[in-house]
Amino acid sequence: MIPLLAGAGPRWFNIPAHRPFVHDLARGLFDALAPLGPQALSQAVVLTPTRRGARALADAFIAAAGGRAVLPPQIRPLGDLDEGEPPFEPGELAINLPAAIDPLRRRFELIALVKGHEKQLGRDLDASAALELADALGSFLDSLQIEEVSARHGLADLVTADLAEHWRVSREFLETALTAWPARLHELGVVDVSQRRVALLRALAESWDRRPPEGVLIAAGSTGTAPATADLLTVIARAPQGAVILPGLDESLAEKAWAQVGEQHPQGAMKRLLERAGVARRDVLLWPASDTLDTAGRWRRRVINEALRPAEATADWLTVIETLRAEGGSDGVDPIAEGLKGLSVVTARGEEEAATVAALLLREALEVPGQTAALVAPDQTLARRVAAKLARWGVGADSSAGSALAGCRCGGLAALVAKAANDPLDPVTLLAIAKHPFVRLGLGPEALDRRRAALELHGLRGPRKTTWQALEAHLRRKASDARIEPGAIEEALRFAAQLRDALTRLQTPYADDTARPAEAARSLAQTMEALAADERGDTGDLWAGHGGEALGRLLSGLMSESDGSPAVSRRG
C-alpha cells in the first residue's frame, strides 16, 4: 500500500483548475510509486476520458522521469475499452457482446430508415437532407443509450393536441425508429457503439465490485457524465488501492452556492457525480502539486469561480468580495487584482479580427522558449481561422477536435474532383485541380509547368467553354496566331486531353444523374490516382500521412459499407 492511497476508501482527489492536470497527476504517481521498484509503476492502471488524454499523460510520465528509462503505467481511455485488452483480464467477463456497427454503415442504414419513412409520407428527400436527418436521429439514439433511458413510452406525452401537425409527424417517426432500429441491428448481428460501450463499462464495474483489483487503479479527469461511467468511478474509488481524481472541482464555493449549482453550471457534472457516489465535497482531498503553488493562478481561479456563481447565490457578492480580500490580506496581496493580473479583454469587430488577435497572441507566446499556449474557442469555425493564420508562420496548431479532412491537401483534391463530377469544365475548379500539388498526370515537373501554364493562358481565359470539344476547338482556332509562342497550343491541347481522360471516368457511375455511393467513391479514388500518377505511375504522397490515411479509410468504407444505400446525385 503506497502512502498516497493509504486508509480506507473511497478515495476522491481533486486537482484545482489552475494546476497543470496531467503533470501533477504524473508527478504525484511517479513520486509515490518509483521508490517501490521498477515494476510498481508499470503495474498501475490509469483510466483517462479520451485517447488524447492518454497520450498527454504518457508524455507527462516521460517528463516526470527526467530522462530516466521507466516503464509507464497502463494508460487506457474509458471511451475506447476493449474486452480483449487491459484492464480486462482474460476470461474475467462472462459476456458475449456482438460487434459494434461500423459508423459509416450506421449512417447509411439510418439514411435508409429516414428515406423509407419519408417515402411512406409521399415525400422524397435528397441525399444531403436525408444525411442531416439521419445524423440527428443517430445523436438522439446515442443520447438515449448513453443515459440508459427508454423514450418509447414517454414520446406519447411529448406532443399535445394544440401543437403543430409536424410535431406529431416527428413523434410518430421517432416511435417508428425506436422500434425499427433495434430490429435492424439484430438483423445485422451488431449493436450501436455507444450501447456496446455502456455494456462494457457496466460489466467492468460489476467485475471490479465483485473482485476489486489489488494493484493501483486510478481514474483521472473524468466527470462521470454518463451513468455507467459514474458507477464505474464509484467502484474504482472503493478499490483497495483505487482513487478517482477530479479535474477542477471548486472546493472554495460556499455551501449555499454549491447547493444552487444546476445541470448547466460548469460544476454541475461533478456535483451530480459526487451525489451519485454519496461523497460530500468536503471529503474530496487535494492531490499533491508538482511544484510550488502559483499564487496568481490560485486567485484567478477563485475570481472566475465566484463570477460563475449560480444566479440564485449572487445576493451576497459584496460580502464575498470582502471575504476574498480578507483571505488575501494574509498573503499581502489584493486577490482580485492578483487574479486579474495579465488578463486582457479584446473587443473584436468581427470573427476575422478575433482570429487575427488570437493568432498573434499565440505566436507571441512561442517567443519564450518552453512556453506553451492554448486557445479555447466557442466553435470550430474560429479555431480553424486561427489555425490557418498560424500556418502562415509555420506554426502547426494541434486541435483537440481534430482537423477537417477538407483542410488537408488530399482532402482538398478530393473535394475539387467531386465538384468536377458535376461541372468538369468550370474554369476555376479545373485550374485548381491542375495546380494542386498532388496532380502530375504522368508528367515531370518542367513539362507539367509548361502545359499547365499554356492551358491557363490560352484555354481557360475568356468566355467559358461548356464541353471538352468546345475547349479543343477554341485552342485550335488560336493555333494560327503568330503572337503565341510556338508549341504552346499543342502543349495546351495535350494537357486538356489528359485532364479530360482523367476526369471523364467520374461520369461512369452516374446513370440518370445518380450513382450508388460505392461506385461514386470508387470512381473518385481512381480519378485521384490518375491525376496524381507521375511518369512512372507512382501516386506519391496521395494516401500518405494522417489525412491520406483518413481519406483512404473513408473511401474504402464507402465502397464496402454502403450496400443497399440510396443513390446520390452528382450535384450533392
Report the C-alpha gap between 27 and 16 in whole angstroms: 15
Report the C-alpha gap between 267 and 361 in whole angstroms: 29
DSSP 282: G
pLDDT tens for each residue of 351-409? 999 999 999 999 999 999 988 899 998 888 899 899 989 989 999 888 877 778 888 89
Name the most confidently modeled range: 112-121, 300-309, 461-470: 461-470
Report the C-alpha gap between 488 and 260 in whole angstroms: 77
Report the C-alpha gap between 468 and 473 in whole angstroms: 9
Task: For cell 443520447, name the residue.
Answer: 143
pLDDT tens for each residue of 251-277? 988 888 899 999 889 999 999 999 999
pLDDT tens for each residue of 57-66? 999 998 888 8
DSSP 289: P
Report the C-alpha gap between 210 and 191 in whole angstroms: 26
Q: Indicate the residue type of 215.
A: G
pLDDT for the residue numbered 85: 65
Is pLDDT of 572 > 70?
no
Nearest to 195 by CA among 187, 185, 205: 185
Kindly state the helix (H) or strand (E) to which residue 109 belongs, with its residue range.
helix 103-120
The span from the first CA to the last CA of the chain, in angstroms, equals 62
Q: Is 177 helix (H, G, I), strand (E, B) or coil?
A: helix
In sequence order, the 6+-apart residues with CB closer than 8 A to the CB of 5 are 11, 32, 216, 241, 242, 243
Set of cell numbers at residue 102: 461500423
Assess whether the previous peptide bond of 87 is cis (omega < 30° from 0).
yes
Q: Indicate the residue type of 476.
A: R
Give strand pairing partners of 76. 47
Name the most confidently modeled range: 163-172, 318-327, 534-543: 534-543
Burial classification of residue 290, based on how many CB atoms lie within 10 Å of its CB (0-12 exposed, 13-18 middle, 19 or more buried): buried
The answer to whether the beta carbons of residues 492 and 458 sit under 8 Å apart is: yes
CB atoms within 10 A of CB 202: 16
DSSP 417: H
pLDDT for the residue numbered 83: 61
3-state secondary structure labels for all residues of 368-416 = CCCCCCCCCCCCHHHHHHHHHHHHHCCCCCCCCCCCCHHHCHHHHHHHH
Assess whether the previous peptide bond of 10 is cis (omega < 30° from 0).
yes
pLDDT tens for each residue of 294-321? 666 778 888 888 888 888 877 777 887 8
pLDDT for the residue numbered 310: 86
Q: How many helices (H) and strands (E) does the chain have?
A: 22, 10
